[in-house]
Every structure is written in C-alpha cells, then in structure tokens.
Amino acid sequence: MRVYTGDPADWDLGDVPTSVAIGVFDGVHRGHAAVFARLMEDTENRSVVAMTFATHPVEVVTGRPGPPALTTLERRIELLSALDIDAVAVIEFDETVRNLSPRVFVETFIVEGVHAELVSVGEDFRFGYEAGGTVGTLRVCGGTFGFDVISTPILTLHGMEVRSSSIRAAIASGSVALAARMLGRPFEVAGTVVPGDARGRSIGFPTANIAVPSALVRPASGVYAVTSDIKGARYLGVCNVGTRPTFGGGDETIEIHFLDFDTDLYDTELRVEFVDRLRNEQRFTSAESLIVQIRADIARARIILSDS
C-alpha cells in the first residue's frame, strides 16, 4: 500500500482513476469500515484511497488541543491498510487548508490530488472553510468535476452511534469491552516500557510500565484484563491504570503484570489490548491485603482471557 503526503500536486497515483473515502478515521472503527465497504461495492477498475488528516481539524480551527486520539497517525495507516485498500493520502491540515472554500478543497485534493471518480463519506461529513461544505455541496461539486458521491449512514450498535467520540467516552469511563465492540477489535495502548519504582516486584508481581504519548486517549483508572504480543508470543496480563494509592499515590501510570512471564522489557515497544475491566483502583490497608486481591484479579483475568 502506498502513502502520499505533502503537496497534493506531487501525489503521483498514475493514470488509474480512484474511489476515495474521506475522513479523520481516528481508531478506524466499525463505522469507518462500513464507509469503505460501501465504497468497494461500487468500485470497478479503480484504486481505492483513504484520504485522512495528519492533524485533527479541531486543533487548527479552535487553536486548542484536539480530542485525545484513539491511535497515532502511523497506527491509523496500518489499520487502514488492513482494509485492503491501495493507498492513503494524508492531508496536512493547517491554516491554509482550513481557509480553502469547499470548491477549492475539492478541486485541490479530490480532483487534482487523487483523480477521484467516486467519493464516499459519512452522512454528516463537513469540509471547507468554517465547515461550510456538506454532502450536498460535495454532490454539486461532483456534477461539476465528474465524480459520484455516496454517503453512509452513521452505524449504530445496540442503539448507540458508532463514532470516535463515543469510543473515547467509553474508554474514559473504563468500558473497554464496549469500546471493543464499536472498534471491531480490542482497544489498545502502545508505548515504550520505562523503569518504575519496582513496587510490583517487591511484592512478587513485577510490572512493565508503559509510557503512553499524552496525545492518546487513556482508559479510566482501574484494573483490567489485557493481552500483548511479545516477541511473537501472546501473553495474558493484568493492568493497573492509576496512582497506586496503597503505596502513597503519585503520578498516574499504566503498569502490566504479565502472567507466566518474567523477562526484562525495558525500552521495548509494547502494544497492549484491553479486553475487560476487572475493578476500580482502590487503596488497601496493607501490602498483604493487596497481594490477596492481585491473586484474585489474576484468577479472574485468566478466565476472561481464556475466552478472548
């Protein structure tokens, strides 16, 4: 799969026309997959392209940090690739792009950038200066420039709209199992294993402490059943997200105790999948009572993860 960045005038997609889906695609969830599935139903002899944004448009429009991301741009591209598309075109959303009229946006990126014959978007898609362009605007432009437009309704799951914002809210409340149903896969965090204070090891449960980029969404504090692939093997684990109040508290950390595993992981890049929430983080009156609870957490996690 090819990835195009920078000036759209330099995107060399060849002479083959394209079908393009446009969106932020944060998380590449089941709703996004539906947009691509609809696109591919009507695609013949065209390259399929995902057009996404390097920076969330909200950051540029408001001048404030955007919503915490479900994935990095690099991971988003990996997930888009798994949808069996041909290319990803990345728009550097900046003040220049923000100020483009809807028509100029279409001409610059959709017509001249990827030579689209078919464009697929969600039914609430907005674009162009002050989000003035709608699906109707896109269809008018399609009539001018010679491309068709299909819009996909927002996917619902058990009465809930599947949106990146809904998934963020589920994760922020600790409902990682719900987030997984909307994503179509477990929610994951990824980061580098960094040294901790060895509290876990001191009570017989060594942990890997993961430094997660601040721009990414974090699950609510609590204890979770998790899995991770380490050097080609899948390991089960119990993850604590929080401040470890039994030991006096401090900065929030994400620590994983991997079951049946005790190898130094410092500086290793890990991707950890959150399968289910076990309980709230709590303060115990002694290390001994904490140990009893950790053993119970491990036993429950083994049951949950054996079915995952």
Q: Mean pLDDT lowest for which of 60-69, 107-116, 241-250?
A: 241-250
At 217-261, the pLDDT tens digits run: 999 999 999 999 998 899 999 999 987 766 666 678 899 999 988
The residue among 163, 12, 14, 8 whose CA lies nearest residue 100 is 8
Task: Note every long-range contact of 76-84, with CB atoms under 8 Å and residues 24 or more positions apart, other chains counting.
Answer: 76/25, 76/26, 76/27, 76/28, 76/52, 77/3, 79/27, 79/28, 80/1, 80/25, 80/28, 80/50, 80/52, 81/1, 83/28, 83/33, 83/36, 83/50, 84/48
For range 173-201, the mean pLDDT: 89
Say what the pLDDT of residue 138 is. 96
What rounded mean pLDDT belongs to the chain?
Answer: 90
Q: Which helix (H) or strand (E) holds 285?
A: none
Task: Note every long-range contact of 181-184, with CB atoms under 8 Å and residues 24 or more positions apart, other chains counting.
Answer: 181/157, 182/29, 182/30, 182/31, 182/157, 183/27, 183/29, 183/30, 183/70, 184/29, 184/30, 184/33
Q: Rounded CA gap, 47 and 16, in Å?
A: 7
- Identity at 208, one-letter amino acid code: A
Q: Mean pLDDT lowest for which of 70-84, 187-201, 290-304?
A: 187-201
Q: Report the percentage of the chain scoring pLDDT > 70.
A: 96
Q: Rounded CA gap, 255 and 21, in Å?
A: 37
Token look-up 């991301």 returns 69
20: which 2 tokens? 């393009």
Q: Rounded CA gap, 184 and 301, in Å?
A: 21
For range 121-144, the mean pLDDT: 92
Is pTM beyond 0.85? Reply is yes
23: which 2 tokens? 């969106």
For range 86-111, the mean pLDDT: 94
- Helix and strand totals (H; E) in the chain: 10, 14
For range 112-134, the mean pLDDT: 92
40: which 2 tokens? 């591919």
Contact call for residues 43 and 134 (beta carbons, < 8 A): no
187: which 2 tokens? 């929610």
Say what the pLDDT of residue 66 is. 80
Cβ neighbours of residue 97 closer than 8 Å, sequence gap 6 or more: 60, 91, 105
Question: How many CB atoms are located within 10 Å of the residue 52 CB?
Answer: 22
Q: Which domains does the chain have, with CATH numbers?
A: 2-154 (3.40.50.620), 186-306 (2.40.30.30)
At 147-165, the pLDDT tens digits run: 999 998 999 988 899 999 9
285: which 2 tokens? 């009156």
Say what the pLDDT of residue 40 is. 86
